[in-house]
Structure 1
Amino acid sequence: MSKIHLTTIINSDIQTVFDLSRDIDLHQKSTFKTGEKAIAGRTSGMIELGETVTWRAKHLGFYQTHTSKITEMEKPSKFTDVMLKGRFKSFKHQHLFKTRGKQTIMTDILEFESPAGIIGKLFNYFFLKNYMTEFLTERNKVIKLTAEK
Structure 2
Amino acid sequence: MTTWMDAPMERCFKLATSIDLHLASAAQTQESAIGGVTTGLIGEGEWVEWRGRHFGRWLTHTSKVEGWRPFSFFREVMTEGWFRRFEHEHHFAVMDDGTRMRDEIRFSASGMMSKIKEKIARRHLIGMLRRRNALIKRAAESEEWRRYLEASPAVSANPVRAVNETTARRWDKSVVGG
TM class, shorter-chain normalised?
over 0.9
Candidates 23, 36, 40, aligned match of 1:45: 40
**1:54 deviation in Å?**
0.2
Structure 2 distance, partners of 1:38, 1:128, is 20
Structure 1 residue 23 and structure 2 residue 18: aligned? yes
Which residue matches 1:83? 78
Structure 2 distance, partners of 1:51, 1:99, is 26
**1:60 deviation in Å?**
1.1
> What 5-or-longer segments of structure 1 have no aligned partner?
1-5
Which residue matches 1:54? 49
Per-residue CA distance 1:28-75 (angstroms, 9 max, x = gap): 001101011111000011101000000000001101110000001000
Structure 1 residue 35 and structure 2 residue 35: aligned? no
Tell me the secondary structure at the aligned position of residue 43 of structure 2.
Answer: coil
Per-residue CA distance 1:65-114 (angstroms, 9 max, x = gap): 10000001000000000000000000000000001024110000000101
Candidates 101, 107, 116, aligned match of 1:122: 116
Percent of residue pairs bearing the same amino acid type: 36
TM-score normalized with structure 2 length: 0.78
Count residues with an aligned counterpart: 142
Asked which structure has the greater RCO (Cα within 8 Å, sep 6+), the reply is: 1
Whether the 8 Å contact between 1:13 and 1:102 is mirrored in structure 2 is no
Structure 2 distance, partners of 1:35, 1:49, is 26
Which residue matches 1:139? 132
TM-score normalized with structure 1 length: 0.93
Which contiguous aligned blocks of 4+ residues in structure 1 show a shift greater than 3 angstroms? none
Tell me the secondary structure at the aligned position of residue 41 of structure 2.
Answer: coil
Candidates 103, 107, 128, aligned match of 2:102: 107
Structure 1 distance, partners of 2:52, 2:123, is 18
Which residue matches 1:70? 65
Q: Report the structure, 1 or 2, having the larger strand content.
A: 1
Tell me the secondary structure at the aligned position of residue 131 of structure 1.
Answer: helix
In our comparison, the structure showing a higher alpha carbon Rg is 2
> What 5-or-longer segments of structure 2 have no aligned partner?
143-178
**1:123 deviation in Å?**
2.4
